Amino acid sequence: MPFPLFPASAQAVDAATVQLNLDFVWIVVAAILVLFMQAGFTLVETGLTRSKNAVNIIMKNVMDCAAGALVFFAVGFGLMFGTSSGWFGTDGFFLSGIEGQDQMWTYAFWLFQAVFAATAATIVSGAVAERTKFTGYLLFSIVITGLIYPVFGAWAWGGLFNGSGWLEGLGFIDFAGSTVVHSVGGWAALAGVLVIGPRAGKYGPDGKPRHLAGHSLPLAALGVFILWMGWFGFNAGSTTAGSSEIALIAMNTFLSASAGAVVAMAVTWLRSGKPDAGMTLNGVLGGLVGITAGCANLTPGFAILTGAIAGALVVYASLGLERFVDDPVGAIAVHGVCGAWGTLAAGLFDAGGFSLATVGVQALGVVAAFLWVFPLAYGLFTLIDRIVGLRVEAHPEVLGLDLHEHAAQAYPEFVAGGDGYGVPDDEFIPAEV
Amino acid sequence: MPFPLFPASAQAVDAATVQLNLDFVWIVVAAILVLFMQAGFTLVETGLTRSKNAVNIIMKNVMDCAAGALVFFAVGFGLMFGTSSGWFGTDGFFLSGIEGQDQMWTYAFWLFQAVFAATAATIVSGAVAERTKFTGYLLFSIVITGLIYPVFGAWAWGGLFNGSGWLEGLGFIDFAGSTVVHSVGGWAALAGVLVIGPRAGKYGPDGKPRHLAGHSLPLAALGVFILWMGWFGFNAGSTTAGSSEIALIAMNTFLSASAGAVVAMAVTWLRSGKPDAGMTLNGVLGGLVGITAGCANLTPGFAILTGAIAGALVVYASLGLERFVDDPVGAIAVHGVCGAWGTLAAGLFDAGGFSLATVGVQALGVVAAFLWVFPLAYGLFTLIDRIVGLRVEAHPEVLGLDLHEHAAQAYPEFVAGGDGYGVPDDEFIPAEV
Amino acid sequence: MPFPLFPASAQAVDAATVQLNLDFVWIVVAAILVLFMQAGFTLVETGLTRSKNAVNIIMKNVMDCAAGALVFFAVGFGLMFGTSSGWFGTDGFFLSGIEGQDQMWTYAFWLFQAVFAATAATIVSGAVAERTKFTGYLLFSIVITGLIYPVFGAWAWGGLFNGSGWLEGLGFIDFAGSTVVHSVGGWAALAGVLVIGPRAGKYGPDGKPRHLAGHSLPLAALGVFILWMGWFGFNAGSTTAGSSEIALIAMNTFLSASAGAVVAMAVTWLRSGKPDAGMTLNGVLGGLVGITAGCANLTPGFAILTGAIAGALVVYASLGLERFVDDPVGAIAVHGVCGAWGTLAAGLFDAGGFSLATVGVQALGVVAAFLWVFPLAYGLFTLIDRIVGLRVEAHPEVLGLDLHEHAAQAYPEFVAGGDGYGVPDDEFIPAEV
């Protein structure tokens, strides 16, 4: 770009236009932060699983974002925000034809929403890690981004012109998506792990779960810090306007995450005698998920309380769920359970005053999300399993998805079988593992 | 800083001043994002090469940025944006003496441009990795940042007061630098690899290329996500103004990258039966490079098409080039080839309507970049080779540049020869490798 | 959030309100960048130490941020910015009761300051790494965030209504905290390493220091890049306003860091014959710490000079200190020494003209910080040592803090004793090391 002359002299703008420009800057900056959360999810999922499946997780997350963006451009955005009678939108596909909206504003809002949709998809990725076929996962990712997420979104956030989404119309509070994004992802993840089943070796002969450690806690921790940063865009960006309100939202986001981390650490410390790092990191995420619904309508004290309870929930829900389902990264506890809790908390602690009706609507939203997402995702995973197959065979699973699905290794120099000089050929792959 | 009183009451500002302040905020935020791209390049290059050369790559990237900033402050910015008769600027060195410009605005614009210049340099780093002497590389990095990049930049973007750069004057469209930054870096990389030659072991006795795998795909993937994020600053920041236009640019950037990733994955899947992760990641980058020229004058549909073609180009250009030159990270395909393609696409798909003249000017710009950069870089690499030596000896190359050039190891605990207790002394270095 | 209608038509705002909204956006964006610096510190400290202590470092950094936020919310902010007679604030605890301030503005400023407080704490983490009990560290972290840092902060930045902090009243220049944040952290780190003593194996039988190499230079380098990026928020955000001044500050920040890197590299190259990567990375940080005080009142040339001297100081101070104290990451040299230097440089090179009185006040501030922090931190570390114990036993230290303090390993697959299938139980821990 050419060096522009000092622009002040050339400008004859009014304050409303400048405010609008500020809104564009803020929404784009926030969208960039949310996009970067994909890197955070990738690292958390990669770090908390074994190195033999790292390439596969990277591919899944890149595609959640890349294929997701194209699908949400073509279909999802219209279903979610097009003209609606309360259930789903019927125009706006390919970003065309939403009447009454400025084109640039639609573009900015699409960008912000597209990265949200990718987030819902990527939550599932971690839960089904280490045993799912790439093709099957990709199909699911496309459907959640293009259909499952947008339709629920239309209930809670859509319906621009003809009234509003039916949940929205009841007064449902979910400012940035504890339910719309996180519980939707979490319940889809629950369906996925039920259909796919646990990883080989997860449960001992006695049926008790064993801890299959991830391969890099530093990568996982970096991922959590990236998510922590990105969540400010997620929550404060949901104002879609550069306004003073973002201060309250950002502060609440910070405090809730902090309380989640401290409480999750304390709970593990009291339970086992040592502060557990993985749970503490998931405590940060639980606190973030928990405050997402109520970040704009809770006082700081209740933000801390919401995060603290989320931090405890993460630990107990992870341990409880582990007895029944194998979720390598704790996605169901973090996103599903804490998302539901955060949605209730947004009603319980509403700074506008307690109202049983409000809490009831919040509970209704939580239930509606489960009832819409879980059966549909369960059916879809089952269908994919029947048609293209969802789970890799036993041998490739033990060998690692990276070699089988992508003919690659994440760290050829560092792990057994790697020679540091390229993709192993067939001789490297042991016939029996 | 002291806690400032709530500023509203103290302010008596007009809208034009506020817009200007917004422009400052936006350009600084965008510059920060572009600076962070250096981390992305570092990780991509480090991850896609072997661990024995990781310290060297880190040093090169830090210096591209650090030495580059000082050189661009002293010389480059003046050559690129100083008063010019169309070929190069003649004032503004050390940021002094650009008349008619506000000083603070010059500072902001310098900051944004300095991180662009560092990008052009760092593209070369990956291509010549694993066999280049640090001293020789450092000399080249200084010259590209201080001379090669700024002079071409003056043709396309410079010439503030006395007319404009000659390419600019013809109507050349390169909004954020598909050619100015990326092809310039790519063609310099091509010159570098031709002069330096391939890495030991790259070509078998039959002359066929072998795949020398990098040591950490997770680091490479994180690097790509960082670049993806930073690119929003690169493209949308090139407005140098906080305006609604950034919505279109950011959306196009996202869509093109997504299409590049999907198509690169699909091509490798069809070719080899498995979706390839390295190519998919380079598909993201190819899509980003491709949309850089036309991000502000293409509709979303053509942004997708531009990225899709870039994704295919990355795969085929990488495979084609690999038969002749050894570019460990695919920099020439990603930045050189996709940069040229993106520049043509900005003319072919111009939302203002197709015009053969426009396409011709775009092609002229592509050719001009090659003719300016390639011979000059080739000569410069050859000169450096004669004077200080460009390539390390065979033994240190096999041993790794880190020990030889920096007396260090990236991972002393994890690799052969590391003892986990410090820099290996001479006894650790095997006489024969 | 529902898709908002194009907001322009609904807006009737005046320019002062828009400027205020811009200030909110800028301070929140800057705070996000500073928060992300915690990831940078985590990676620098993790990368420059051994993998057996990586989980411990991650836990310390997460808690610096998480527990720090809660403590700074409850106590620290009030002590630092509450109504004060020059020494410490007496209201504003739990963010309540600061009269005359807009609530949202207080929230925004708290957010920005909270991440600063966490930075001061985390500086200590690296210096005392690899031998400190988690409980002892956590106690110290809470006290520095809640008491040591805020009280000095009140002297230099606090005192909103009743006059000002006593140092501030004398004209002390420390724009973004070379002394307030970095030296405070650095002198606390010095106290810590003196009380705790060196790591096992740091000094040979002859009393000479040995280099205990870190385990991942790529992680450390990524950390430095993250800090480099975040520092733009740290320095330019300290305007607390979206204004043209941020251009000067950001440019100075970039130039000083660059000069620090180049000079640190040059010094090691001249001393040992090879450019040293660890020192070059710390040169970046030294340049950043050095410019933090004077980023807003130095010209670019003096910013370069300040950074260049900081780069040399980092090398010589690290080497000099290493003979007496064991600081695994060089935190005392980077933050303590360069913080003091930067504070002096802000007086020496003041663009407003040289004045001996100004330099005297700067020196007074440097001395005051040392006299407040060092004895207090020394006493506190001693007290913690007496009550809960500060240092782990010899056996767990050699084994690594991760197993002993957190029952975890950072890389179970890659290091000796890891089996890739979970947290080692007692059988894995050798009785003798």
Q: What is the DSSP string of B110-145?
A: HHHHHHHHHHHHHHHHHHTTTTB-HHHHHHHHHHII
A31 interaction partners in chain B (CB closer than 8 Å) = 232, 250
- Please state, in angstroms and rounded to a whole number, the distance separating the CA atoms of residues A286 and A332: 10
**Interface mutation target, options A19, A28, A103, A428, chain B, most CBs of B under 10 Å:** A28
A114 interaction partners in chain B (CB closer than 8 Å) = 254
* Amino acid letter for position A192: G
Nearest CB neighbour to A414, from listed C32, C67, C414: C414
C160 φ/ψ sector (left φ>0, alpha ψ -120 to 50, else beta): alpha
Residue A8: per-residue pLDDT: 54
Structure tokens of B194? 């031709």
Sign of CA dihedral B278, B282, B284, B287: negative
Q: What phi and psi, each to the nearest 5 degrees, are found at residue A132?
A: -100, 140
Q: Give per-10-residue mean pLDDT for chain C (433 aa).
A: 60 86 97 97 97 97 97 96 86 79 90 94 96 97 97 87 78 96 98 97 94 96 98 96 96 98 98 96 98 97 98 98 97 98 98 95 98 98 96 94 95 62 38 35
Q: Number of A:C CB contacts under 8 A?
A: 228
Provide the residue ranges of all domains of chain A, joining segments of one domain with +: 12-387
Among B35-39, B391-395, B425-429, the range scoring the smallest mean pLDDT is B425-429
Residue A426: per-residue pLDDT: 39
CA distance C203 to chain A (A): 28
Q: Which residues pair with B203 in a beta bridge?
A: B209
CB contact under 8 A, C407 and A229: no
Residue C281: per-residue pLDDT: 98
| Cα–Cα distances in angstroms (integers) from residue B382 to residues B141, B146, B202, C190, in the given order | 14, 18, 22, 50
Nearest alpha carbon to residue C253 among C227, C225, C291, C296: C291
Better-predicted residue by pLDDT, B104 or A96: B104
CB contact under 8 A, A114 and B247: no
- Please state, in angstroms and rounded to a whole number, the distance separating the CA atoms of residues C264 and C283: 5
Nearest CB neighbour to A254, from listed C69, C134, C421: C69
- Please state, in angstroms and rounded to a whole number, the distance separating the CA atoms of residues A260 and A281: 9
End-to-end CA distance of chain C, in Å? 57
Nearest CB neighbour to B225, from listed A2, A17, A39: A39
CA distance C160 to chain A (A): 20
B114 interaction partners in chain A (CB closer than 8 Å) = none
A264 φ/ψ sector (left φ>0, alpha ψ -120 to 50, else beta): alpha
CA distance B181 to chain A (A): 11
Residue C239: per-residue pLDDT: 94
Q: What is the pLDDT of residues B206-233, one digit of tens each?
A: 999 999 999 999 999 999 999 999 999 9
| Cα–Cα distances in angstroms (integers) from residue B425 to residues A62, A267, B53, B406, B428, in the given order | 42, 47, 17, 12, 6
CA distance B9 to chain C (A): 8
Residue in this structure with the two tokens 């840092």, named with its chain if needed = C149
Q: Give the Cα-Cα-Cα angle C113, C63, A38 (nearest 5 degrees).
A: 85
C134 interaction partners in chain A (CB closer than 8 Å) = 275
CB contact under 8 A, A6 and B280: no
Sorted by sequence, the CB contacts under 8 Å of residue A71 that are 6+ apart come out as A142, A145, A146
Residue B363 has a CB neighbour count (10 Å cut-off) of 14
CB contact under 8 A, C250 and B28: yes
Residue C184 has a CB neighbour count (10 Å cut-off) of 33
Q: B391, B131 in Cβ contact below 8 A?
A: yes
Cα torsion C219, C225, C226, C231 to 10°: value is 150
Structure tokens of B299? 């509709």
CA distance A411 to chain B (A): 5
CB contact under 8 A, B100 and A22: no
CB contact under 8 A, B420 and C246: no
- Please state, in angstroms and rounded to a whole number, the distance separating the CA atoms of residues A350 and A310: 17
Nearest alpha carbon to residue B308 among B264, B362, B363, B359: B264
Task: Note the Cα A131 to chain centre separation in Å.
Answer: 20
Task: Note the Cα C275 to chain centre separation in Å.
Answer: 26
Tell me which chain B residue has its CA closest to the CA of residue C230.
B32
Residue in this structure with the two tokens 């983490």, named with its chain if needed = C125
B105 interaction partners in chain C (CB closer than 8 Å) = 244, 247
Q: Number of A:B CB contacts under 8 A?
A: 228
Nearest alpha carbon to residue B89 among B75, B99, B78: B78
CB contact under 8 A, C18 and B17: no
CB contact under 8 A, B261 and A42: no
Residue A359 has a CB neighbour count (10 Å cut-off) of 16
CATH topology of domain A12-387: Ammonium transporter fold (1.10.3430)
Nearest CB neighbour to B221, from listed A21, A42, A421: A42
Residue A419: per-residue pLDDT: 40
Nearest CB neighbour to C43, from listed A29, A222, A232: A222
Q: Which residues pair with A209 in a beta bridge?
A: A203
CA distance A419 to chain C (A): 15
Residue in this structure with the two tokens 């795969």, named with its chain if needed = B315
Q: What phi and psi, each to the nearest 5 degrees, are found at residue B44?
A: -60, -45
Confidence of residue B102 (pLDDT cuts 50, 70, 90): confident
3-state secondary structure B170-215: CCCCCCCCHHHHHHHHHHHHHHHHHHHCCCCCCECCCCCECCCCCC
Q: What phi and psi, each to the nearest 5 degrees, are found at residue B391?
A: -120, 140
Q: A283, A260 in Cβ contact below 8 A?
A: yes
Nearest alpha carbon to residue A36 among A122, A164, A124: A122
Q: What phi and psi, each to the nearest 5 degrees, are found at residue C391?
A: -120, 140
- Please state, in angstroms and rounded to a whole number, the distance separating the CA atoms of residues C199 and C193: 10
CA distance C251 to chain B (A): 6
Q: What phi and psi, each to the nearest 5 degrees, are found at residue A391?
A: -120, 140
Confidence of residue B424 (pLDDT cuts 50, 70, 90): very low
- Please state, in angstroms and rounded to a whole number, the distance separating the CA atoms of residues B267 and C189: 54
Residue B2: per-residue pLDDT: 64
Structure tokens of A157? 């956030």
Task: Note the Cα A262 to chain centre separation in Å.
Answer: 22
A255 interaction partners in chain C (CB closer than 8 Å) = 69-70, 73
- Please state, in angstroms and rounded to a whole number, the distance separating the CA atoms of residues A344 and C58: 32
Helix (H, G, I), strand (E, B) or coil at C209: strand
Nearest CB neighbour to B250, from listed A31, A36, A94: A31
Neighbours of chain B (3+ CB pairs under 8 A): A, C
Residue in this structure with the two tokens 């646990």, named with its chain if needed = A198
Residue B247 has a CB neighbour count (10 Å cut-off) of 26
CB contact under 8 A, A420 and B226: no
Report chain C's mean pLDDT, rounded to a whole number: 92
Nearest alpha carbon to residue C318 among C296, C295, C299, C336: C336
Burial-class residue B385 by CB neighbours within 10 Å (0-12, 13-18, 19+).
Answer: middle
CA distance A394 to chain B (A): 19
**Interface mutation target, options A103, A248, A251, A297, chain C, most CBs of C under 10 Å:** A251
* Amino acid letter for position C235: N
Q: What is the pLDDT of residues B3-47, one digit of tens each?
A: 666 665 556 689 999 999 999 999 999 999 999 999 999 999 999
Nearest alpha carbon to residue C115 among A17, A253, B89: A253
Q: C179, C113 in Cβ contact below 8 A?
A: no
CA distance B386 to chain A (A): 31
Nearest CB neighbour to B8, from listed C20, C158, C159: C20
Residue B281: per-residue pLDDT: 98
- Count Cα atoms within 13 angstroms, Cβ side, for B325: 22
Q: What is the ipTM of this complex?
A: 0.94
C222 interaction partners in chain B (CB closer than 8 Å) = 39, 42-43, 222
Burial-class residue B10 by CB neighbours within 10 Å (0-12, 13-18, 19+).
Answer: exposed
Residue A420: per-residue pLDDT: 39
**Interface mutation target, options A62, A70, A116, chain B, most CBs of B under 10 Å:** A62
End-to-end CA distance of chain B, in Å? 57
Burial-class residue B207 by CB neighbours within 10 Å (0-12, 13-18, 19+).
Answer: exposed
| Cα–Cα distances in angstroms (integers) from residue C197 to residues A332, C324, C388, C392, in the given order | 44, 10, 17, 11
Q: Give per-10-residue mean pLDDT for chain A (433 aa).
A: 60 86 97 97 97 97 97 96 86 79 90 94 96 97 97 87 78 96 98 97 94 96 98 96 96 98 98 96 98 97 98 98 97 98 98 95 98 98 96 94 95 62 37 35
Residue A329: per-residue pLDDT: 97
Structure tokens of C301? 């040339």
Residue A4: per-residue pLDDT: 67
Q: What phi and psi, each to the nearest 5 degrees, are found at residue B392?
A: -70, 160
Q: C310, C285 in Cβ contact below 8 A?
A: no
Sorted by sequence, the CB contacts under 8 Å of residue B62 that are 6+ apart come out as B38, B42, C221, C224, C261, C280, C281, C284
Residue B339 has a CB neighbour count (10 Å cut-off) of 32
- Please state, in angstroms and rounded to a whole number, the distance separating the CA atoms of residues A205 and A131: 20
- Please state, in angstroms and rounded to a whole number, the distance separating the CA atoms of residues A431 and A281: 38
Q: What phi and psi, each to the nearest 5 degrees, are found at residue A181?
A: -100, -55
